[in-house]
Amino acid sequence: MTILDVKGVKKTYVPRFGGAPVEALRGVSFSAEEGEYVAIMGESGSGKTTLLNILAALDRPTAGTVTLDGMDLGKIREDRVAAFRRESLGFVFQEFNLLDTFTVEDNILLPLVLANQPAGKMRQRLKPLVERLGIADLLKKYPYEISGGQKQRAAVARALITNPRLLLADEPTGALDSRATDELLALFERVNRAGQTILMVTHSVKAASHASRVLFIKDGELFHQIYRGDMDNERFYERIAQALTLLTTGGEKA
Partner 1 sequence: MKGLYRRLAFGAMRKNYRYYLPYILACLGMTGMYFILAALSEGEILLSFRGGDIMRTILHLGCGVLMVFSLLFLFYTNAFLLRRRKKEFGLYNVLGMGKRHLMGVCLWEGVSVALLSILGGILLGLLFSKAAELLMVHLLGMRTDFRLRINVAAMLQTAAVFGVIHLLLLLHTLYQVARTDPLSLLRSESAGEKPPRANFLAALLGAVLLGLAYYLAVSIEDPVTALIWFFVAVILVILGTYLLFISGSVALCRLLQKNKRYYYKTNHFVSVSTMAFRMKRNGAGLASICILCTMVLVMLASTVCLYIGSTDSLMQRYPRQILLSARLGALSAEEEEALEALRTAALTETAQCGLAPENTLEYHLLEASVYRRGEDAHVAGTAPYDEESELWELRIAPLSDYERLTGETVDLADDEALYFATQGRVLEEETLRLQGGPALRIAGQAEEIPALGDDVANVSPVLYLFVPNFEEVALPLLALTNSEGSSLADISWTLGFDTDGTDQEQMLLYEDISQALEALKFDLPEDSYVHARVECRAEQQEGFYSLYGGLFFLGVTLGIVFLFAAVLMIYYKQISEGYEDRARFDIMQRVGMTRREIRRSINSQVLTVFFLPMLTAGLHLCFAFPLLYRLLILFGVMDFALLMQTTALCFLAFALLYTVVYRVTSGAYYRIVSGVGRGEA
Q: Cβ 237 to partner 1, closest distance in Å? A: 27
CB of residue 111 vs partner 1: minimum separation in angstroms?
A: 5
Instruction: For residue 170, report the phi and psi dihedrals to the nearest 5 degrees.
Output: -110, 100
Least Å distance, CB 117 to partner 1, is: 8
Residues in the chain: 254
CA distance 209 to 83: 33
Quick one: the chain helix, strand, coil %, rounded to 5?
A: 40, 25, 35
By C-beta, is 142 or 237 nearer to partner 1? Answer: 142
Smallest separation, CB 58 to partner 1 (Å): 5
Classify each residue of 113-124 as buried b or exposed e, where b means 16 or more C-beta atoms within 10 Å of its C-beta. Answer: eeeebeeeebee
Q: CB 53 → partner 1: shortest distance, Å?
A: 5
Residues in contact with partner 1 by CB under 8 A are 49-50, 53, 56, 58-59, 79, 81-83, 85-87, 89, 91, 93, 95, 97-103, 106, 109-111, 113-116, 119, 122, 142-145, 158, 170
Q: Strand (E) positions, 47-202?
A: 63-68, 71-72, 89-93, 166-170, 197-202
Between 42 and 143, CB nearer to partner 1: 143
Query: Which residues have CB under 8 Å from 72's CB, separation 6+?
Result: 65, 66
> Which amino acid would we find at residue 45?
G
Widest Cα–Cα separation across the chain: 56
Closest separation in Å from C-beta 160 to partner 1: 12
Please, which residue, 52 or 187, has the CB nearer to partner 1? 52
Q: Which is nearer to partner 1, 116 or 249 (CB)?
A: 116
Q: For residues 123 and 190, which CB has a smaller minimum distance to partner 1 in the complex? A: 123
Cβ-based nearer residue to partner 1, 86 or 206: 86
User: Taking the CB of residue 6, how many other CB atoms lie within 10 A of it?
Assistant: 22
Residue 91 CB neighbours (<10 A): 21
